[in-house]
Amino acid sequence: MNILGFESSCDETGVAIVNTEKGLLAHALHSQIDMHQAYGGVVPELASRDHIRRVLPLCYDVLKNAGLAVSDIDAVAFTAGPGLSGALLVTASVAQAFAWSHDLPTIPIHHLEGHLLSPMLAPEVPEFPFVALLVSGGHTQLMRVDGVGQYELLGETLDDAAGEAFDKSAKLLGLPYPGGPHLASLAEGGEADRFQLPRPLKHSQDLDFSFSGLKTAVLTTLRKLEAQGAVSEQDRADLAAATQAAIIDVLGYKAIKAMKQSGLKRLVVAGGVGANRQLRDFLDRETQRLGAKVYFPPLALCTDNGAMIAHAAAERIKAGLVDLSARNYSHRIRTRWDLAEL
């Protein structure tokens, strides 16, 4: 079966086609980074309008690149939440209209389930069960995954997500949006040991996270530097390196702790922060010490994309969780949606 998938939960428009037997056939992605940079963050109304402009041309590109006609599509999947309401409505409307016009089944997909299963698009596929670290601009969670649709929340952030900590700290350092990659780049020339930043909740008894205090510590440190005179480029690089080290230390420590508590030997990392090279190196090293293995999605599929949505739909079909005989074209979007509800 060929599954056409749409994603537009925030500031990327993604379309892809996944075959339930052959895997990913084609995908196309448009990022709105350039458009939102002038505002220092995502402007929801602008994001929605840009999704409207991009989604159909991307759909045509994907069909062409896959060498398929519209008649070759067997089902249509789309992100139903969580995300920005206006952005979600764009591809939810397009996907359901497409499916209705061709009498195809629709498959609403949870955005985080798409991320969760995206490492299965890599050449080396993890087997169930595994611990998953979902880490992005809006979400930081640890999950136990026993199969498709079988998710248990182990811990989550109580305030800012790790991606927010990256982005907000980068903004304090005068870096452009999106801040995370720019902070990681600046940190390459810095000394992480120069500034002692806190590791919130690192040694708590649970598997929860907290990053808002770290952002405050970065601001306090920066103000102290400013009070001493002009902040040099080396000062900024050292503070960026310290910030990145603090975030990765907490993420890595809690992920390994979750593996030890669960007794599982496989760790899956997904979401935009999963592209961070320092995080990858840290978890590669620590899982090897544990006699375990860590799996990441391909770098190109760490950010939001249509491939993960189409793939999640394909996995749900193979797991028998989708009624392909049903024809429902009025699925509602959900800006907030607990993954454990699946």
| Annotated binding-site members for substrate | 134-138, 167, 180, 276
Taking the CA atoms of residue 52, residue 53, residue 56 and residue 62 in that order, the dihedral angle to the nearest 10 degrees is -120
Q: What amino acid occupies position 24?
A: L
Largest CA distance in the chain: 69
Q: CA–CA separation, 89 vs 81, rounded Å?
A: 10
Binding residues for Fe cation: 111, 115, 304
What is the side-by-side order of every strand in the sheet holding 75-81?
Answer: 23-31, 12-19, 2-7, 75-81, 106-110
Binding residues: 111, 115, 134-138, 167, 180, 276, 304
Q: What amino acid occupies position 270?
A: A
Tokens describing residue 100? 């209705």
Residue 6: partners with Cβ closer than 8 Å, 6 or more residues away: 14, 15, 55, 59, 76, 77, 78, 79, 91, 92, 94, 95, 306, 309
Sole residue written with tokens 């892809």: 16
**How many beta carbons lie within 10 A of that of residue 310, not counting itself?**
36
